[in-house]
């Protein structure tokens, strides 16, 4: 397009010279060509420059839009930077608050841990004191139990001695009665013997005569009272049954005596049960101290027997009857610890909850 414009200028510059030299026809041709060139130039102006202007306008619009976008981006960047600065400040404040909280919490934890350690030490001291008190109480309780058992044993021994003295009196009175009742028979026998025996035999062997006379009362006793050996044999076989029957009939003193005979017999297989029933006889007579003593013999001498936990339970109940709830509580706890799987342990738990 620049070359065409230069050609047009050259033609315009040399046109006067060409007019002078050329003919009218040539001049007309040149003018016609010039008009064509001018028209082309105008067309070019209208088209090319219009498109260029449009393009420039479009480019200017795009540049304006780009500038607007750039401005928006700058404002967004400024806002982002401002937000970043604010976030940084907030992060600093947050870090400072976190550090402050961490320091505070650490000091609190240290204080709580110190208080916990002090509390543990205090509790350990209290626990040691309580254990010591419990040990002293157990010793005192054991001493009280032993004193009560000794007292009960003394009472039982005194009662036994009194009973034996009464039995001895009864036996002496019975033997005196029997002696008096047989004296007449002896004198009658003596007369008969004197008639039957010659005077020489009576004078030569008076000892045999006395032996024969003394043999008469023994036979009389055996005929009057029956055979003692047979009665002992029968009673040894049925003593436990008889004693149980007497116990059920509330004849507790008689039942106690029979149970005692069985319990003191080392060859008896029912000695432990008999000892337990001796305690039951005393318990039902409200002689709880003596009953405790009988139960204690089972606990100490036959701890592996099946009657041992039952004896312990009855011993605890006896202490309850004596208003000694502390001792009863100790015994119930001992049953639960040593015989946890037994029915007596369940009963001990029930009674312990009511103390």
Q: At what angle do helices 307-321 and 288-301 cross, to 10 degrees?
A: 150
Q: Say what the pLDDT of residue 277 is.
A: 94
Q: Is 266 helix (H, G, I), strand (E, B) or coil?
A: coil
Expressed in angstroms, the distance from the first to the final Cα of the chain is 126
DSSP secondary structure letters along 292-326: HHHHHHHHHH-TTSTHHHHHHHHHHHHHHHTT-HH
Q: Say what the pLDDT of residue 229 is.
A: 40
Which residues are CB-neighbours of 342 under 8 A, at least 6 positions away? Answer: 309, 335
CB atoms within 10 A of CB 121: 10
Q: Is 22 helix (H, G, I), strand (E, B) or coil?
A: coil
- Positions of the chain with pLDDT lower than 70, given as ranges: 1-6, 14-23, 145, 149, 152-153, 155-157, 159-160, 162-163, 166-167, 170, 173-237
Residue 196 token pair: 């039957």
Q: Say what the pLDDT of residue 110 is.
A: 87
pLDDT, tens digit (0-9, with 9 covering 90-100), for 10-49: 777 766 665 555 567 877 887 888 888 888 888 877 777 7
């Amino acid at each position: 397009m620049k070359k065409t414009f230069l050609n047009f200028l050259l033609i315009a510059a040399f046109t006067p010279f060409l007019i002078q030299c050329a003919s009218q026809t040539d001049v007309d041709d040149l003018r016609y060509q010039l008009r064509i060139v001018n028209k082309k130039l105008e067309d070019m102006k209208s088209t090319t420059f219009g498109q260029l202007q449009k393009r420039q306008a479009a480019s200017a619009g795009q540049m304006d839009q780009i500038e607007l976008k750039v401005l928006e981006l700058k404002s967004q960047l400024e806002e982002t930077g401002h937000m970043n600065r604010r976030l940084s400040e907030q992060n600093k404040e947050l870090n400072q608050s976190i550090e402050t909280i961490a320091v505070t919490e650490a000091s609190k934890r240290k204080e709580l841990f110190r208080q916990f350690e002090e509390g543990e030490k205090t509790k350990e001291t209290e626990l040691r004191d309580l254990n010591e008190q419990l040990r002293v109480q157990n010793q005192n309780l054991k001493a009280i139990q032993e004193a009560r058992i000794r007292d009960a044993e003394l009472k039982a021994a005194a009662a036994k001695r009194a009973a034996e003295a009464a039995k001895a009196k009864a036996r002496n009175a019975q033997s005196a009665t029997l002696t008096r009742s047989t004296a007449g028979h002896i004198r009658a026998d003596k007369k008969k013997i004197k008639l039957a025996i010659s005077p020489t035999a009576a004078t030569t062997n008076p000892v045999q005569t006395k032996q024969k006379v003394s043999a008469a009362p023994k036979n009389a006793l055996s005929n009057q009272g029956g055979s003692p050996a047979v009665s002992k044999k029968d009673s040894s076989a049925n003593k436990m049954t008889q004693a149980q029957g007497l116990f059920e009939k509330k004849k507790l003193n008689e039942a106690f005596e029979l149970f005692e005979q069985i319990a003191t017999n080392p060859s008896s297989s029912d000695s432990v049960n008999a000892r337990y029933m001796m305690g039951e006889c005393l318990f039902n007579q409200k002689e709880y101290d003596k009953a405790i003593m009988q139960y204690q013999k089972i606990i100490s001498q036959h701890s592996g027997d099946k009657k041992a936990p039952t004896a312990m339970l009855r011993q605890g109940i006896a202490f309850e009857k004596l208003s000694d709830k502390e001792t009863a509580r100790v015994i119930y706890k001992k049953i639960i610890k040593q015989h946890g799987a037994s029915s007596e342990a369940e009963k001990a738990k029930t009674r312990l909850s009511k103390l």
